[in-house]
Amino acid sequence: MGDPNAGVIFILRRTRPWVRLVSIIGFLSVVLMMVVGLGGGLVGITAERTHPLVLLAYPLFALLYFFPSLYLYKYSRRIGAFVAQGHQAQLESALEAQRAFWQFVGIVTLVGMVVVLCLLIAAIAVGVLAAL
């Protein structure tokens, strides 16, 4: 009888390169966002065309990209350990890293939806008040 995890190992072995690619692209995006955002912000401040608070926006967005990239990187590493050794605890660890990724994405999505909804309500309120 064959390994009961053979199908799972096969699927995760094929999934791992894509997870790793997306995590690397995420980390590169973080670096690019920091460099371009801070550089552009400093140029704008020097030219007196940008408010200094703009410098905070890019690091915050970079931080927002950092954590999902980190969770995917951990998932990729844990897939590798499971594929190499095949222990149940390693599979559970990989799935836990994947769960953390989706939890973060879900929370960010919900927060984003609430922010957009609040902005929409505020815009409607301003429009109604302006029409009076």
End-to-end CA distance of the chain: 78
* Residue 69: CA count within 13 A, CB half-sphere: 17
pLDDT at 75 over 70: yes
pLDDT at 51 over 90: no
In a domain, 26, yes or no: yes
Reported as a single tens digit per residue, the pLDDT across 26-50 is 999 999 988 888 887 777 777 777 7
Cβ contacts of 124 within 8 Å, gap of 6 or more: none
Prediction pTM value: 0.81
pLDDT, mean over the chain: 91
In a domain, 54, yes or no: yes
In a domain, 109, yes or no: no
Identify the domain containing residue 62 by its residue range. 6-104
Q: What percent of the chain has pLDDT over 70?
A: 98
Q: Between 12 and 1, where is the model more confident?
A: 12
In a domain, 117, yes or no: no
In a domain, 70, yes or no: yes
Q: In which band, very low, low, confident or very high, does the pLDDT at 1 lie, cut at 50, 70 and 90?
A: low
In a domain, 123, yes or no: no
What's the Rg (C-alpha) of the chain? 22
Residues 10, 79: Cα–Cα separation, whole Å: 11
In a domain, 60, yes or no: yes
Domain count, the chain: 1
Give the distance, in angstroms, between the CA of residue 41 and the centroid of all CA atoms in the same chain.
Answer: 23
